[in-house]
Amino acid sequence: MRMKNTSAQFGLVSIVNHWVTAILVIGVIALGIYMGDLPKGPERGELYDLHKSLGVIILGLFLLRVVWLKLSPNPESLPSTRFEHILAHSVKGVLYLALVLMPLSGWIMSNSGGDDVAVFDWFVLPAIVPENEWLHEATEEFHEIFGELILPAIILLHIAGALKHHYIKKDATLNRMLGKK
């Protein structure tokens, strides 16, 4: 398998980035929902630290994806109706937006609440905002609503689209992201 994308096929870098990001995003959503119900204590604190670290990794993977797209553009889209094309690009756009907004809102929420964002005890991100109760509450609300409602719905639409292409349209959309010809 090639590292770079071709006009008809995704390369190894794009495929690995896609699936690692997908697993991490689904994991941080589940972790976020789970830890939100825990009482304050050491377990909750450790899970919050893990959640933050994974969020930063997701943001890093997104930035790598953007750079990689410049070096190795995605394959051409397979034929579809105008509506399907618009829907697919809209869903992908919201997913990309989420890969930026969720980590950034978490970072802002942490800093505005007086907390650092450490990444697996490797390093601490610089504070991007000062402590601010109003900002903390606003970003916490955004992060929770987007992460528990909007993002899962968009992920389900993305999965449904891939499955429709694979089982109903019987085209190569899903196989291209699985590295199959």
Q: What is the pTM of this model?
A: 0.93
Residue 25 lies in a domain: yes
Residue 2 in any domain: the answer is no
C-alpha to C-alpha distance for 61 and 13, rounded to whole angstroms: 11
For residue 130, what are its two tokens? 């000062």
Burial (CB count within 10 angstroms: exposed 0-12, middle 13-18, buried 19+), residue 142: middle
The span from the CA of 96 to the CA of 76, in Å, is 18
Quick one: pLDDT at residue 180? 86
* pLDDT value, residue 60: 98
**pLDDT value for 78:** 81
Task: Please report, in tens digits, the pLDDT of each residue of the chain (181 residues total).
Answer: 799 999 899 999 999 999 999 999 999 999 999 998 899 999 999 999 999 999 999 999 999 999 999 999 999 888 788 999 899 999 999 999 999 999 999 999 999 999 999 999 999 999 999 999 999 999 999 999 999 999 999 999 999 999 999 999 999 889 999 988 7
Looking at residue 80, its pLDDT comes to: 83
Pairing of strands 123-125, 117-119: antiparallel
Residues 98 and 151: their CA atoms lie apart, in Å, by 7
Look at residues 158, 70, 151, 43 and name the one whose alpha carbon lies nearest to residue 103.
Answer: 151
| pLDDT reported for residue 10 | 94
- Residues 110, 52: contact at Cβ < 8 Å? yes
pLDDT of amino acid 79:
77
d(CA 63, CA 60): 5
Instruction: Flag whether 7 is in a domain.
Output: no
Q: Report the number of distinct structural domains present in the chain.
A: 1
Predicted confidence at residue 30, as pLDDT, reads 95
Which residue range forms the structural domain that includes residue 34? 12-177
Residue 52, pLDDT score: 97
pLDDT in the model for residue 77: 83
CATH value at residue 52? 1.20.950.20
CA distance from start to end of the chain? 10
Residue 132's alpha-carbon distances to 27, 54, 99, 103, 137, in angstroms, are 29, 24, 24, 18, 9
pLDDT of residue 91: 95
Question: What is the reported pLDDT for 2?
Answer: 93
Residue 6 lies in a domain: no
- Predicted local distance difference test score (pLDDT) of residue 81: 87
